[in-house]
Structure 1
């Protein structure tokens, strides 16, 4: 005998649903993060701020003949484009959250968008590193005062955007459960990707300010490209971490810090069940699915074991297959 159960997670207590529905009862696959709508609005707001600053810098740079302003404006455009991916992913996931053609909902769309943004971030790191390398060979005259003003303004804008995109939703034991999960289990990777793009821009501004101040004092033209290479390495490292985490979700990888398998095992062993097959994957931020096959001497209905597994907060969609152990 086998059965499955889905839980609609558009409220803070996903396990308030009844676990005794009929096998053919329709259930939702709403696996978006708790702060999906808030994060979507903030991402659009950051895009508006970034795009406005980008246009101002490009227009001012062309009017006043400033390459520093123009270059920084076009640099901001790459991050605005990456954040647009995040915003559109939020919008699409929300609009199609109830589309039954998505077998397990649209919760993983944010991870797909995060993966794409991470690739863009890696390309930005390569471009910054390459441009810095070229400047080592052909130093460019720098208008230090103007460049410092641009970097400071850019830093202020980026700090405001970083504050807007900061994920302040806490996961883990705040739900009243004594078990923990991997550090990225409930994290919105789409928001994280947008946040890292803003941090990368802020980092380049901080490094640029330091390099420009020292360069203006000691006439060290070489310091600007040197700091550029350091920034490129740091951004590439952030990009790799994001690619690794989002790629793992897309490939249904269970992180080493994720203890859902142990929690499921502990609950079912107490019921005298032996797990013969277990599959766990992430459905969205803070949501996991599981298919569990067990053998038992004196089996109960699948709904009985689903009710026991409902104690695991992050387990949002469960299929239980029960077999009687052979004599």
Structure 2
């Protein structure tokens, strides 16, 4: 078979990845909102010589950088959806971006734990009024961003990461949402700790709550790292889909081998080797399996 024949008979491998996803537009809005806040805080910090304001502005800059990774992944996935060099499409770029962002968040959480322990051992003077104002600004901005990215959710926190239908399996959007949700939680806890420190003189409350919040964030991030890494290495976790495939065609044939793996957010490729006494063709079984829209690529061998 020559190359021309192969080219004309090759199926499209875009698998819907050329369609602009809602998460892309939402993440861009969040970047713009975070970027405006970042510029305002850095400018204010330089103008009023406030290190606390400047530090929070730089923290916002880090968020803009991480969220930019998420947006670039969306764009690259969409622009290269028809690139035949990606054998099973560009869907896993989405997962790779989510994995990378989750690793960065995990690193930040570990750094925050270390910094909080140092503050417990060596307390420093806290300018409560200014710190409270900055934390309130951070809570408002990150709260709005979390609503933008997670308005389809009925639950928050770790449940979002564990839910199989969370973000329609969009690990890229999940990681962006996790970043702003984590920051909003830290701002909320910081306000509580600062108020306790200001009115009750409990200085150690700030670093103590910092440790607690960081541990929670680390758990969220680790959960997303674990889920996305399994997809990246083709670890088969979708037992429900396997059971459905067996129920759909298992009565008409004997399944010798069944391979199912994720090739993008909520989409799967399937390879089946089966034995059948009937004269049904592979196309017959493919048509049956096409009733499940999660299956976008099927290879069937009849022995």
User: Normalization by structure 2: what TM-score?
Assistant: 0.90
Indicate how the Cα distance of structure 1 residues 258 and 73 shifts in structure 2: closer, same or farther if over 3 A, else same. farther
Partners of 2:121 and 2:267 lie apart in 1 by 51
* Structure 2 match to 1:85: 69
1:169 to partner: Cα distance: 8.3
- 1:33–1:286 CA contact under 8 A, matched in 2: no
Give 3-state SS (helix, strand or coil) of 1:299's partner.
coil
Higher RCO by CA contacts (8 Å cutoff, separation 6 or greater): 1
Number of residues of Structure 1 aligned to a counterpart in Structure 2: 290
* Structure 2 match to 1:244: 226
| 2:90 is the counterpart of 1:106 | yes
1:26 to partner: Cα distance: 3.5
Task: Deviation per CA, 1:169-228: give whole Å up to 9, x if none.
Answer: 89xxxxxxxxxx944694111000000000011011000000011111011111111111
Counterpart selection for 1:282 from 262, 277, 281: 262
Task: Deviation per CA, 1:240-280: give whole Å up to 9, x if none.
Answer: 0110111111111222x641111111111222x11111110
Q: Which runs of 5+ in 2 are unaligned?
A: 1-5, 155-162
Partners of 2:13 and 2:140 lie apart in 1 by 41
* Structure 1 match to 2:273: 293
Summarize the alignment of residues 125-136 of structure 1 with structure 2, pairs less than 5 Å apart: 125-136=109-120
Summarize the alignment of residues 287-326 of structure 1 with structure 2, pairs less than 5 Å apart: 287-323=267-303
- 2:101–2:175 CA contact under 8 A, matched in 1: yes
Indicate how the Cα distance of structure 1 residues 198 and 212 shifts in structure 2: closer, same or farther if over 3 A, else same. same
* Structure 1 match to 2:217: 235
Give 3-state SS (helix, strand or coil) of 1:68's partner.
helix
Give 3-state SS (helix, strand or coil) of 2:169's partner.
coil
1:51 to partner: Cα distance: 1.8
* Structure 2 match to 1:3: none
Partners of 1:32 and 1:80 lie apart in 2 by 28
* Structure 2 match to 1:264: 245
Summarize the alignment of residues 1-327 of structure 1 with structure 2, pairs less than 5 Å apart: 25-32=9-16, 36-166=20-150, 168=152, 182-183=164-165, 186-255=168-237, 258-271=239-252, 273-323=253-303
Partners of 2:301 and 2:290 lie apart in 1 by 16
- 1:167–1:191 CA contact under 8 A, matched in 2: no
Structure 1 or 2: larger helix share?
A: 2
Q: Which runs of 5+ in 1 are unaligned?
A: 1-21, 171-180
1:43 to partner: Cα distance: 1.0
Indicate how the Cα distance of structure 1 residues 53 and 27 shifts in structure 2: closer, same or farther if over 3 A, else same. same
Give 3-state SS (helix, strand or coil) of 1:98's partner.
coil
User: Normalization by structure 1: what TM-score?
Assistant: 0.83
Partners of 2:263 and 2:277 lie apart in 1 by 32
Partners of 1:182 and 1:163 lie apart in 2 by 20
Partners of 2:48 and 2:7 lie apart in 1 by 70
Moved more, 151-160 or 136-145: 136-145
Moved more, 131-140 or 91-100: 131-140
Partners of 2:196 and 2:167 lie apart in 1 by 43
